[in-house]
Amino acid sequence: MDHPLPWLAPTLVLLAVFQLYPMVEAVLMSFTNESLVSPDTEFVGIEQYARLATDPQFWEMLRVTAIYAFSSVVLHVLLGLVLALAIDYGVRRGLRGHLTTRVSVLLAWIVPGIIIGLVWKVMLVESQFGAINYLLGLVGVGPVPFRSDPTLALISTIVAGTWRGTAFSMIMIYGGLQRVPQRLYEAARVDGAGRWNRFRHVTLPQLKSVLFVTIVLVTIYALNTFDLIFALTGGGPGRSTQVLALFMYQEAFQDNALGRGASIAVVMLVANLALTAVYLYAFDVSEEI
Amino acid sequence: MTNNEPQSDGGTPVETDTIRQEQPTSRLRRLAETITAPATVDAAVYVLYAVAVVFFVFPALWVVSASLRPEGELFSYPFRLLPSEISLTAYQQVIDAGVATWLVNSTLVTILGVGGILLVSVPAAYAFSRFEFRGRRGLLGIVLLFQMISPVIIIVPLYTVMSTLGLLRTRAGLVLLYVGIQTPFSIWLLKGYFDTVPMELDYAARIDGCNRLQTLRYVLLRPVAPGIAVVGIFNTVLTWSEFVLAFTVLRSESRLHTISIGVYKFQGQYGNDWRAIAAASVIGMLPLVLVFLGLQRYFVKGLVEGSLKG
């Protein structure tokens, strides 16, 4: 037991079987025409990628995925930051309601993704009987086709995603705020810094690393969102909310084209790795390890 | 808060005094002072709390309200925020569809999965924290890298791996898969907690004749308990909520379906019966909500105390 191997062996075996091998296999598979229905698998070179590159729908889905991921990151992190600051402020000033707020936000986060999709489906029913449409009706708007208009459908998925995801950013940033040394604020006060300047020159720089990790994790999370959109819009109407994860799943398991699905997976893998590389480069984690 | 104020004097009298000596009071400055005065900020924060609570709680409450309606009330005038009378018919529909089986399956998979994750990740985190060996940093880097890669991406080859190992349509297969997928993040989190425990404890235990396993069991487990709580709660939420892996591994084996799959299939069958879909959603979220309401204190405390670094 004085050697690290027995302690790490289960982890290494599991990682090899369920993470490393599948990742290598995804790349290999993407160069074949492997299918769930036909036993013959042939090497087809870059055919799958060529097919993707010349498919205008693929570029459209890439655009939808990028819009979804980018809006999610901006909304989750901004809302998370504002809420974390407000809760931190409330705790320090002894305001009431900070605990209720924190618990409310966290509750949305623990609802399973599929069910979040359904909850918002029920909220966004497109007649005057839907809750949101009723409220809009009171001020003379609507009924709004939240899920059948392409643009509104994408916005609806982003809002539902923000409902779920804000808690993660909030809790990460709140944790970061607790680790800002109090003496820095005291020093800033002594120097005559106002509230805004204390935020700008003390809080923000101290939160830099937390914010960066949060942004990258949220980006990756949003980039691979599946369950929520699967339940809320199923990718529709048309392909207006068809993110890459959904497209890949359909190609692989509904059209039985594993090779084609794998090539989309590799595109997603490259996007994830590229973002991780940016993360490793811009934020030096070596000191953390 | 006041983040978007262009310039401010801050709230305390000490600061304003020093600044006033140099600059004449202008109307704008007085306005800025009012805006950043503690009372104004307090009021703004209260408004924010209220908006946040409504935004995050209303959808869940609306679904509860929708699920308790008598037949047809959701689609009749006048619109009601609350049911005119409580009807449990929709819940009967969900129960008839087999929700008990889904709940039992989800509970089993979650308990076994989280147990497995802790069993694997605690010793690994210990090793990364306490052993010096060649390639330690590299290996930890790789573990960190896996955390960055969503299981959705490798779902296609995972399907063939599970098929080869004969693990498709089995509960054991799904549990193993969860342990494999969720271990990296758990190790990374737990290592942070181990790192905060001073090595002196290990040395003292060694002198008292403990081997490494006994040191972990009797000396280190207590100080890293907040970390274990965080990892346990986090993985419980993830495992209970997980959909795409379960959907892919369990396929059409309906007696093994978890709550997410069950509810998804249910809404596929019931199409536009919003009341039934609402009832299924309520049953799907209730268990975790109850567990989490009890445990969120430990979750937040553990996260803040520990070193969810960077």
Among B280, B304, B177, B17, residue whose Cα is nearest residue A22: B177
Burial of B140 from C-beta contacts in 10 A (0-12 / 13-18 / 19+): buried
Mean pLDDT for A175-187 is 88
- Which residue did the predictor score with more confidence, B204 or A236? B204
Q: Are residues B53 and B165 in the same domain?
A: no
Residue B147 belongs to a domain: yes
Residue B229 belongs to a domain: yes
Percent of all residues in chain B with a pLDDT value above 70, rounded to a whole number: 89
* B49: chain A residues, CB-CB within 8 Å: 86, 90, 95, 97-98, 100-101
Mean pLDDT in chain B? 84
Query: Domain total for chain A?
Result: 1
Q: Are residues B164 and B189 in the same domain?
A: yes
Name the band, by pLDDT with cuts 50, 70 and 90, for residue A238: confident
Q: Are residues B239 and B109 in the same domain?
A: yes
Q: Are residues B38 and B145 in the same domain?
A: no
- Which residue did the predictor score with more confidence, B109 or B219? B109
Residue B4 belongs to a domain: no
Residue B6 belongs to a domain: no
Domain range for A214: 55-182+209-287
Residue B272 belongs to a domain: yes
Q: Does B172 touch chain A (CB under 8 A)?
A: no
Q: Are residues B81 and B144 in the same domain?
A: no
Name the band, by pLDDT with cuts 50, 70 and 90, for residue B231: very high
pLDDT at B39: 84
pLDDT at A284: 62
Q: Are residues B138 and B251 in the same domain?
A: yes
pLDDT at A241: 92
**Alpha-carbon span B268 to B276, nearest angstrom:** 11
Q: List, for residues B93-133, the tens digit of each pLDDT value.
A: 999 988 999 999 999 999 999 999 999 999 999 999 998 88
pLDDT at B77: 66
Residue A120 belongs to a domain: yes
The two structure tokens encoding residue A59: 């570029």
- Which residue did the predictor score with more confidence, B34 or B43? B43
Residue A86 belongs to a domain: yes
CB neighbour burial string for B257-280, b if at least 16 within 10 angstroms, e if fewer: bbbbbbbbbbbeebeebbbbbbbb
Q: List, for residues A194-206, the tens digit of each pLDDT value.
A: 888 888 888 988 8
Q: Are residues B49 and B109 in the same domain?
A: no
Q: Does A252 touch chain B (CB under 8 A)?
A: yes
Residue A19 belongs to a domain: no
Choosing from B91, B107, B134, the residue where a domain stops is B91
Tell me the CATH number at A145: 1.10.3720.10
SS3 B214: helix
What DSSP designation does B252 have? Answer: T
Q: Does A254 touch chain B (CB under 8 A)?
A: no
Mean pLDDT for B83-87 is 84
SS3 B310: coil
Query: Domain total for chain B?
Result: 2
Domain range for B47: 13-91
Q: Is B127 within 8 Å of A7 (Cβ atoms)?
A: yes
Q: Do B127 and A4 touch (CB under 8 A)?
A: yes
| φ, ψ at A43 (rounded to 5°) | -75, 125
Choosing from B39, B71, B91, the residue where a domain stops is B91
Residue B7 belongs to a domain: no
SS3 B137: helix
Q: Are residues B97 and B118 in the same domain?
A: yes
Q: List, for residues B149-161, the tens digit of each pLDDT value.
A: 788 889 999 998 9
Q: List, for residues B252-288, the tens digit of each pLDDT value.
A: 888 999 999 999 999 888 877 888 899 999 999 999 8
What are the CA-CA distances from residue B91 to residues A90, B66, B274, B282, B291 (Å)?
40, 11, 12, 9, 21
Point out which residues pair with A32 in neighbouring strands.
A43
The two structure tokens encoding residue A264: 């989309």
- Whether the predicted pLDDT of A166 surpasses 50: yes
> For chain A, what is the HEC assignment?
CCCHHHHHHHHHHHHHHHHHHHHHHHHHHCCECCCCCCCCCCECCCHHHHHHHCCHHHHHHHHHHHHHHHHHHHHHHHHHHHHHHHHHHHHHHCCCCHHHHHHHHHHHHHCCHHHHHHHHHHHCCCCCCCHHHHHHHHCCCCCCCCCCCHHHHHHHHHHHHHHHHHHHHHHHHHHHHHCCCHHHHHHHHHCCCCHHHHHHHHHHHHHHHHHHHHHHHHHHHHHCCCHHHHHHCCCCCCCCCCCHHHHHHHHHHHCCCHHHHHHHHHHHHHHHHHHHHHHHHHCCHHHCC
Q: Are residues B53 and B178 in the same domain?
A: no
Residue B310 belongs to a domain: no
Q: What is the ipTM of this complex?
A: 0.87
Q: Are residues B105 and B115 in the same domain?
A: yes
Q: Are residues B120 and B17 in the same domain?
A: no
Choosing from B91, B113, B135, the residue where a domain stops is B91
Tell me the CATH number at B238: 1.10.3720.10
**Alpha-carbon span B133 to B128, nearest angstrom:** 9
Among B162, B173, B176, B247, residue whose Cα is nearest residue A250: B247
Identify residue B297 by its one-letter amino acid code: R
- Whether the predicted pLDDT of B32 surpasses 90: no
Within 202-231 of A, beta carbons closer than 8 Å to B belong to 209-210, 212-213, 216-217, 220-221, 223-224, 226-227, 230-231
Within 18-77 of B, beta carbons closer than 8 Å to A belong to 18-19, 36, 38, 41-42, 45-46, 48-50, 52-53, 55-60, 62-63, 66, 74-75
Within 233-292 of B, beta carbons closer than 8 Å to A belong to 237, 240-244, 248, 259-260, 263-264, 267, 274, 277-278, 280-281, 284-285, 288-289, 292
- Whether the predicted pLDDT of B141 surpasses 90: no
Torsion, Cα B102 B105 B108 B113, to 10 degrees, reads -100
Mean pLDDT for A1-25 is 90
Residue A194 belongs to a domain: no
Q: Are residues B124 and B223 in the same domain?
A: yes
